[in-house]
Amino acid sequence: MVKLDENKKSYANLIREMESLKGFKIIHDMELLKITNQIFSMNFMQLCYVIDMYEKDPELAFLCNRQKLNEINLEILRLFHNYSASSFTLIRHSSVFKDNLKNENVSMFYDNELEKLKNIEVVDFMKDLRNYIQHYSFPVSSRQVSVKMIEGTDSYEMEQKILLRLQSLLAWDGWKSKGKAYLKQFNDDIEIKLFCKEYYEYITKFNKAFFEMLAKEYEKDIYELQEFQNNMNKLYPPPSKL
């Protein structure tokens, strides 16, 4: 336990001492990784929001506005690119964080959890799809519109989905076995939100387990930091809010 010499140490010295604690470094790096995770989550939510918004747009369903349709396709591809790129960034940042810790327990846990991810078809599919976008082309989008009459009325309900064209994806020869197996389970074009949501849930679960493991592994170091900060706040109370 680090003890403060309240009568001799200036605030600046205490800050430097706090920053030298192991727990400070751990928390700092975890917060940076959380930012990467938040960017990934925000890209996913924005992509789904825009798809939902456009799927409810009657102008798109009836092709009333060709320029708007082109703008929609561009916006969805832009957001999808951001989403897929940020997922790769998140995985790389977490891997670098793990390596920098040089902790055998953390490395073993991380590598075991990562191995589980590698056995999931949609995870391999998303990895291949990033390569598809970076080295081959943007995926071609399509629309699916269905109309159903409301029983007992002259009205109808319309539903439309924005999809990726299956045959365009399969034309690429860069798919690995699991990624291609994921594609071949579909008989027609693929709903974008379907696989994005599935992938998002697996990655989120992976990162949640990783953060929980870190908190447990470095519990004593984090507690030491919290105690240090509490003592600092007693010595130099934060300004009261007006």
**Distance (Å, whole) CA 45 – CA 79:** 10
Global confidence as pTM: 0.84
Strand pairing class (141-149; 190-191): unpaired
In a domain, 237, yes or no: no
Residues 206 and 117: beta-carbon distance below 8 Å: yes
In a domain, 242, yes or no: no
Per-residue pLDDT tens, the chain, 242 aa: give them: 555 554 557 888 999 999 999 999 999 999 999 999 999 999 999 999 988 888 777 766 666 667 777 788 888 889 999 999 999 899 999 999 999 999 999 999 999 999 999 889 999 999 999 888 888 888 877 777 666 666 767 666 667 788 888 999 999 999 998 999 999 899 889 999 999 999 999 999 999 999 999 999 999 999 999 999 999 988 888 887 54
Tokens of 34: 């959380």
CA 48 to chain centre: 13
In a domain, 6, yes or no: no
In a domain, 1, yes or no: no
In a domain, 29, yes or no: yes
The number of domains in the chain is: 1
Its domain, for residue 74, covers: 11-231
In a domain, 238, yes or no: no
